[in-house]
Amino acid sequence: MSKIRITKQFSFETGHALYGYDGKCKNVHGHSYKLSVTVIGTPISDPSNVKYGMVIDFSDLKKIVKSEIVDIFDHATVFNKNTPHVELAKELADRDHNVLLVDYQPTSEMMVIDFAQKIKKHLPETIQLYALRLQETDTSFAEWFASDN
Ligand SMILES: Nc1nc2c(c(=O)[nH]1)N=C([C@H](O)[C@H](O)COP(=O)(O)OP(=O)(O)OP(=O)(O)O)CN2
Ligand SMILES: [Zn+2]
């Protein structure tokens, strides 16, 4: 049976700031992120299986990505907890804002690395994460490929 890649797309609104960066993105601002998740596997060949013909049910993939990424990052503001931004994050959190502290600079590159780890741990052994594409703006995106890693 052929190996097939399938992709599901997600979107979420997230704020961030790049501490120490030498451009406008050092300021707190936000993006309408678009995330494409591609997995690879062999479609189930057993006609008695309710998932017959599927690599993974799109809705099962959606549950993983929603619980691990979309529901966490949507309408949150992400700060690197290893920078003085942690003070700002604490102030916002104390005022009931949705703040997310991560241990990396929240660039598209670092977020996509984080997302790959978060998704991989939930996939069945028969299905591999093939690629992620995280689009920050209409013209900027970062990609993670299993074959590069
Ligand atoms: N390699 C990276 N560079 C930058 C990142 C990043 O995550 N990785 N992030 C930013 C900012 O957060 C923000 O995304 C601005 O990006 P940029 O593409 O420069 O946005 P513009 O609005 O200026 O886009 P144009 O379409 O060129 O107007 C900065 N760099
Ligand atoms: Zn940005």
Listed by start position, the domains of the chain span: 4-148
Q: Quote the ligand 2 centre to 74 CA distance (angstroms).
A: 14
According to the annotation, is 29 in a ligand binding site? yes
The tens digit of pLDDT for each residue in 56-101 reads: 999 999 999 999 999 999 999 999 999 999 999 999 999 999 999 9
The alpha carbon of 71 is separated from its chain's Cα centroid by a whole number of angstroms, namely: 10
d(CA 6, CA 14): 25
Confirm if 87 and 25 have CB atoms less than 8 A apart: no
The ipTM estimated for the assembled molecules is 0.92
The domain at 4-148 falls in which architecture?
2-Layer Sandwich (3.30)
The tokens describing 15, both together, are: 């704020």
**pLDDT tens digits, residue range 92-139?**
999 999 999 999 999 999 999 999 999 999 999 999 999 999 999 999
Is the beta carbon of 136 within 6 A of some atom in ligand 1?
yes
Predicted TM-score (pTM) of this structure: 0.95
